[in-house]
Structure 1
Amino acid sequence: MQIIAIKPTNNPSILKFEFDEFIVRTDNFEFKNIDETQASPLAKQLFFLPFVKTVYLSGNFIAIEKFSIVEWEDVQNEVAEQIGDFINKGGEILIVEEPKNKKIPVTVYAETTPNPAVLKFVCNTLITKTPVEFKNIEETAASPLAKELFMFPFVKEIFIDENYVSITKFAVTEWEEITFELRTFIKGFIENGGTIIDETAILETANHLKQQESYFENLDVTSQQIINIIEEYIKPAVQSDGGNIVFDSYDPTEKRVKVILQGACSGCPSSTFTLKNGIENMLKDMLKDPNIKVEAING
């Protein structure tokens, strides 16, 4: 009889269902829809539940990401029971495990950013759904790639988002001396199946929590408008430069908007000019309020 333990994660949308033995030994698997579940009859079965968004198989657990139409406390016991019944009746979790050493063709190229201390390494594949910044090696529990990159003595900070890795270097070396080495390492790490970001292990930092839907819903109307403007008009340009911008707060008395700058934008010499002549002017115009002020907090 298989016993399933229900364990929360740092992401409120994702719940772990742990087994008392390993179910996957050679790789991690992620299934985003039922068409991708040829290798996992159990994952296929789970997608018949209308609230299942993504299924992860790794080690001794199954992690499920849900849509917001339900709360976990209402359905988690039913899901655990369904998983247990499926396995106890002889259902297969995985039909075939892909070999760990199977290489995935990847292209990685380097792009300059407005910040001379930061270089952006762009991949031709999605590497994370959640932007994450690492200031030092102690913060890399969710990213084996970031941990390995900090082994290079010239790596100061790392920011990972969608299809790129932004690296901030110390001033002791020049980019022309290290770009090829970093590009080759990142390419090899991804091609050999290394874990870039473990989405279930991302720490619930204040920055991360402020990007959740529940946080947005509890804000005042002006703050929500500011976030929508940032997301639609400002963030794409910032991301193209290898950085990220996150709403922090809005003070209606002082008309002050605080934003957090990450990646190439953090500490960039041109960031002050961009804030005052770009972001601040845009918010003044779109909110019809000439008294709006924008203040940056480096992430």
Structure 2
Amino acid sequence: MFIQTESTPNPATLKFLPGQTVLDTGTADFPAAEAAGQSPLAQRLFAVPGVTGVFFGTDFVTVTKAEGVEWDHIKPALLGAIMEHFQSGDPVMAGEGGTASSGHAEHTGEDGEIVTQIKDLLDTRVRPAVAQDGGDITFHGFDRGVVYLHMQGACAGCPSSTLTLKMGIENLLRHYIPEVTEVRPVAV
């Protein structure tokens, strides 16, 4: 098994491409070791000292490291953990609720049509682009013209995330959906 690595715009996050499917659909975000209970792969990665976050896409794994930890020191252990996992035959996600979701929050209310348009634009235009960088951006809410988005994987904590939100996503949504006036990040 050959695992490729790619840098991301976030210097604290590295993208690993194992050359096979990680998740069939959706994404899975583990912002802390305590959240990794349902994923044998995430547990293996958090066992490497210095790992502070793990994120899965359809064909990639991104790992976020602690400040002061060097990639040269932990990358071999991470490659070994990923290789060991895929060779073990263990599932990436286990147990009840072991499947990943679309990641979007449900929205009920009078803005349902606008929210459907927002989610569609995120799914078709935004999420494929940020997946290339090892992250994901999901819908969290819409209130009085303001769209609230949750940034995951390499996008969380990325130095260029504010620019991506304001100049990229906000402009895109405002262009196609006049009711959108602003985009803001949320921490979940």
Flag whether TM exceeds 0.5 (same fold): yes
- List gaps (5 residues or longer) in structure 2: none
TM-score, normalising length from structure 2? Answer: 0.89
Q: Does 2:9 align with 1:109? A: no
Q: Does 2:72 align with 1:180? A: no
Matched residue type, 2:34: E
Matched residue type, 2:54: I
Matched with 1:285 is 175
Listed one character per residue, the Cα deviations across residues 115-140 of structure 1 (whole Å, up to 9, x for unaligned) are: 00000111211121231111222222
Aligned-residue CA RMSD in angstroms?
Answer: 2.3
Matched with 2:161 is 271
2-structure distance, mates of 1:146, 1:210: 18
Shift of 1:165: 1.0
Following superposition of structure 1 onto structure 2, how do residues 153-168 of structure 1 map, counting pairs within 5 Å? 153-168=49-64
State which of 239, 243, 266 in structure 1 corresponds to 2:131. Answer: 239
Higher RCO by CA contacts (8 Å cutoff, separation 6 or greater):
2
Matched with 1:222 is 114
| Structure with the greater alpha carbon radius of gyration | 1
In the superposition, relative to structure 1, how do residues 203 and 193 fare at CA in structure 2: closer, same or farther (>3 Å)?
closer
Shift of 1:162: 0.8
- List gaps (5 residues or longer) in structure 1: 1-105
Q: Report percent identity of matched pairs.
A: 32
Matched with 1:122 is 17
TM-score, normalising length from structure 1? Answer: 0.57
Q: Is the 8 A contact 1:115 1:268 kept in 2?
A: yes
Shift of 1:217: 8.2
Matched with 1:52 is none
Matched with 1:258 is 148
- SS of the aligned residue for 1:140 comes to helix
Q: Is the 8 A contact 1:130 1:199 kept in 2?
A: no
What count of residue pairs does the alignment treat as equivalent?
186
Following superposition of structure 1 onto structure 2, how do residues 83-162 of structure 1 map, counting pairs within 5 Å? 106-128=1-23, 129-162=25-58
Matched residue type, 2:171: N
Shift of 1:198: 2.2
- SS of the aligned residue for 2:9 comes to coil
Shift of 1:112: 0.5
